[in-house]
Amino acid sequence: MRIVKFIAPLCAATMMFAAGDAFLNKNASLYTDASEGSALGELIVSSPVKELSKSGDFTEVEFVGFMPEGSTIAYEKTGILMVGFEAKNASAYKILGQKKDEYDTVWLNVSVKGFVKSDALGSDKAKILANGKALFQGKCGACHPIHAEDEFEPNVWPSIIDAMGVQAGLSKAEKFSIEKYLQNFQK
């Protein structure tokens, strides 16, 4: 009985906490309030966010990530340059802490809160990444045999997509969708 009294509240708290997690199903502006007024920057497709509240057609979210000192781009984690949020100004971020990687690069652990249109959020990351897979196969495969998803390290794909994306006529949204699919690919 003691175990049930301990585990039941823990399970309930875990379910409540997990219920607030979502992913961007497309690139979306992050606004300072629940309107399409002033944008803090852009959240990138498949980036994880915590849902904080809802207000009409908008959801207040928080993105937590890492950025090198002096940057306006926050990545989902250190070690893999997977863009999560591009701020218009570094002042959009709240600094939570810092850490050094194996190359002695200082990474700031940052948070940014704001509002996105609710239709930009999804709960199934695999489904969101499947859109990137379809673009990868269709757009890249239209010009040449596609590379195996694991042929390059995750940090190499962005430069390849940048170089080839111009030739393929990829929009910024398509580029990030393909990039995130390839960076998240696991056998």
Largest CA distance in the chain: 65
**Spatial CA neighbour of 83 closest among 167, 184, 153:** 184
Q: What share of the chain is helix, strand, coil (3-state, %, to 5)?
A: 35, 35, 35
Q: Is the pLDDT of residue 156 over 90?
A: yes
| pTM of the predicted structure, to 2 decimals | 0.85
**What does the DSSP assignment read for 22-64?**
EEESS-EEEESSSSSS-EEEEE-TT-EEEEEEEETTEEEEEEE
Does residue 10 lie within any of the structural domains? no
pLDDT in tens, 38-97: 999 999 999 999 999 999 999 999 999 999 988 999 999 887 899 999 999 999 999 999
Q: Do 109 and 133 have their domain in common?
A: no
Does residue 11 lie within any of the structural domains? no
Q: Do 137 and 103 have their domain in common?
A: no
Does residue 150 lie within any of the structural domains? yes
Q: Do 115 and 49 have their domain in common?
A: yes
Q: Do 155 and 115 have their domain in common?
A: no
DSSP 147: P
CA angle (23, 147, 164) in 5-degree steps: 75
| Of 68, 98, 121, the domain-final residue | 121
